[in-house]
Amino acid sequence: MMASRERLYAIGADYRKAISGYDKIVKICCGTGCISSGALTVYDELQRVLSKRGLSSKQILVKKTGCHGLCERGPIVVFGDDEILYQNVGKRNIERDIAALLATINEDKIEDELLYKGDDKTKRYMSSFDIPFYSGQTRIVLSLNGVIDPENIEEYVGYGGYKSLHKALQMNPMEIVDLIEKSGLRGRGGGGFLTGFKWRSCRQAQGLPKYVVANGDEGDPGAFMDRSLMEGNPHGILEGMIIGGFAIGSNHGFIYVRDEYPLAVYRLSKAIDEARHHGFLGRSIMNSGFDFDISIFRGGGAFVCGESTALISSIEGKSGEPRAKYIHTTEKGLWGKPTNINNVETWSNVPYIIDRGWEWFQSIGSDRSKGTKVFSLVGKVKNTGLIEVPMGVSLREIIFNLGGGIQGDKKFKAVQTGGPSGGCIPEEFLEIPVDFDSLTKLGSMMGSGGMIVMDERNCMVDVARYFLKFLIEESCGKCTPCREGVRRMHEIVDRICRGDGSMGDIEHLEELGKAIQLSSLCGLGQSAPNPVLSTIKFFREEYRTHVQEKKCPAGVCKNLITVSILPERCTGCMRCAVECPVDCISSEKKEIHGIDQSLCTKCGTCFDVCRFGAVKIS
Amino acid sequence: MIEFKINGRHTRANDGETILDVARREGFVIPTLCHHEILGSDGRCRLCMVEVKKRKRKRIIASCLYMAESGIEVSTETPEIQLIRRTVLELFLARNPASEVIRYFAREYGVIDTRYTRDNDKGKCILCNSCVKTCETVVGVTAISLSGKGPHKKVTTPFDGPSNVCIGCGACMAVCPTGHIYMEDRNGIRTIWNRRFELTKCPRCGRYHAPLAQLEFIAQKSGTALDRLTVCQDCR
Ligand SMILES: Cc1cc2nc3c(=O)[nH]c(=O)nc-3n(C[C@H](O)[C@H](O)[C@H](O)COP(=O)(O)O)c2cc1C
Ligand code: SF4
Ligand code: SF4
Ligand code: SF4
Ligand code: SF4
Ligand code: FES
Ligand code: FES
Q: Point out the ligand 2 atom lying closest to the alpha carbon of residue A483.
A: 7
The beta-carbon neighbor of B95 closest among A484, A515, A520 is: A484
* CB of residue A191 inside a 6 A radius of ligand 1: yes
**Contact by Cβ (8 Å): B90, B77:** no
Using only C-alpha atoms, chain A has a radius of gyration, in whole angstroms, of: 26
Question: Is A518 close to B84, i.e. CB distance below 8 A?
Answer: yes
* CB of residue A464 inside a 6 A radius of ligand 6: no
C-alpha closest to that of A168 among A357, A407, A397: A357
**Contact by Cβ (8 Å): A84, A78:** yes
Question: Å from B153 to nearest chain A CA?
Answer: 6
Substitution target in A307, A328, A480 with the highest count of B β-carbons within 10 Å is A480
Q: What is the pLDDT at residue A120? A: 66
Q: Which residues of A touch B150 (CB under 8 A)?
A: 472-477, 483, 487
Q: How many CA atoms lie within 13 A of A598 on its CB side?
A: 0
Q: What is the pLDDT at residue A503? A: 94
CA atoms B20, A323, A333, A178: torsion sign: negative
pTM of the model: 0.93
**Contact by Cβ (8 Å): A479, A521:** yes
Question: Is B150 close to A475, i.e. CB distance below 8 A?
Answer: yes
Fill in the amino acid letter for A609. V
Chain A residue with Cα closest to B118: A488
* CB of residue B181 inside a 6 A radius of ligand 5: yes
Any idea how long chain A is?
618
Question: Is A483 close to B150, i.e. CB distance below 8 A?
Answer: yes
* Maximum alpha-carbon separation in chain A: 85
Question: Å from A447 to nearest chain B CA?
Answer: 22
* DSSP β-bridge partners for residue B53: B58, B73
Q: How many CB atoms lie within 10 A of CB A112?
A: 9
The beta-carbon neighbor of B153 closest among A477, A508, A519 is: A477
* CB of residue B170 inside a 6 A radius of ligand 4: yes
Q: Give the Å distance between the CA of B72 and the centre of ligand 7.
A: 20
Answer left, alpha or beta for residue B150, where phi above 0 means left and psi between -120 and 50 means alpha: left
The ligand that comes nearest to the alpha carbon of residue B170 is: 4
Substitution target in B48, B74, B84, B149 with the highest count of A β-carbons within 10 Å is B149
Range A361-397 burial, b when 16+ CB lie within 10 A, else e: beebbbeebbbbbbbbbbbbbbbbbbbbbbbbbbbbb
* DSSP β-bridge partners for residue A341: A213
**CB of B117 less than 8 A from some CB of A:** yes
Q: Point out the ligand 4 atom lying closest to the alpha carbon of residue B144.
A: 3
Interface contacts A/B by beta carbons within 8 Å: 100
Question: Is A521 close to B80, i.e. CB distance below 8 A?
Answer: no
Residue A393 phi, psi dihedral angles, 5° rounding: -70, 160
The beta-carbon neighbor of B91 closest among A323, A473, A484 is: A484
Question: Is B150 close to A324, i.e. CB distance below 8 A?
Answer: no
Q: Give the Å distance between the CA of B74 and the centre of ligand 1.
A: 30
Question: Is B149 close to A520, i.e. CB distance below 8 A?
Answer: no
* CB of residue A376 inside a 6 A radius of ligand 2: no
Q: Which residue puts its alpha carbon closest to atom 3 of ligand 3? A: A570
* CB of residue B34 inside a 6 A radius of ligand 7: yes
The beta-carbon neighbor of A480 closest among B67, B92, B116 is: B92
Chain A residues 286-345 within an 8 A CB cutoff of chain B: 302, 304, 319, 323-324, 326
Q: Which residues of B touch A519 (CB under 8 A)?
A: 46, 49, 60, 84, 87-88
Substitution target in A319, A328, A484, A514 with the highest count of B β-carbons within 10 Å is A484
The ligand that comes nearest to the alpha carbon of residue A592 is: 3
Omega of the bond leading into A351 within 30 degrees of 0 (cis): no
Question: Is B46 close to A478, i.e. CB distance below 8 A?
Answer: no
Cα–Cα separations (whole angstroms), residue B154 to A3, A395, A452: 54, 43, 35
* CB of residue B47 inside a 6 A radius of ligand 7: yes
B2-6/B73-75 β-pairing: parallel
Question: Å from B215 to nearest chain A CA?
Answer: 30
* CB of residue B192 inside a 6 A radius of ligand 4: yes
pLDDT in tens, chain B (236 residues): 899 999 999 999 999 999 999 999 999 999 999 999 999 999 999 999 999 999 999 999 999 999 999 999 999 999 999 999 999 999 999 999 999 999 999 999 999 999 999 999 999 999 999 999 999 999 999 999 999 999 999 999 998 988 889 999 999 999 999 999 999 999 999 999 989 999 999 998 989 989 999 999 999 999 989 988 999 888 87
**CB of B127 less than 8 A from some CB of A:** yes
Q: Point out the ligand 7 atom lying closest to the alpha carbon of residue B128.
A: 4
Cα–Cα separations (whole angstroms), residue A312 to A321, A323, A498, B11: 9, 10, 41, 35
**CB of B82 less than 8 A from some CB of A:** no
Question: Å from A450 to nearest chain B CA?
Answer: 23
CA A195 to chain centre: 20
CA atoms A475, A481, A484, A487: torsion sign: negative
Q: What is the pLDDT at residue A549? A: 94
Q: Give the Å distance between the CA of A574 and the centre of ligand 3.
A: 6
Q: Which residue puts its alpha carbon closest to atom 7 of ligand 5? A: B125
Q: Give the Å distance between the CA of B41 and the centre of ligand 4.
A: 19
Cα gap A399→A383, rounded to integer Å: 9
Show the low-confidence residues of chain A (pLDDT under 70): 1-3, 119-120
Substitution target in A475, A483, A519 with the highest count of B β-carbons within 10 Å is A519
Question: Å from A111 to nearest chain B CA?
Answer: 53
Question: Is B117 close to A491, i.e. CB distance below 8 A?
Answer: yes
Chain B residue with Cα closest to A481: B88
Question: Å from A299 to nearest chain B CA?
Answer: 16
Cα gap A355→A361, rounded to integer Å: 10
Chain A residue with Cα closest to B89: A480
- In the three-class reduction of DSSP (H, G, I as helix; E, B as strand; rest coil), residue A13 is classed as helix
Interface predicted TM-score (ipTM): 0.95
Chain A residues 483-542 within an 8 A CB cutoff of chain B: 483-485, 487-488, 491, 508, 511-512, 514-516, 518-521
Q: Point out the ligand 7 atom lying closest to the alpha carbon of residue B65.
A: 2
First to last CA, chain B: 48
CA torsion A167-A168-A172-A173 (nearest 10°) is 180
Strand extents, DSSP E, A127-233: 211-216
The beta-carbon neighbor of B116 closest among A474, A478, A491 is: A491
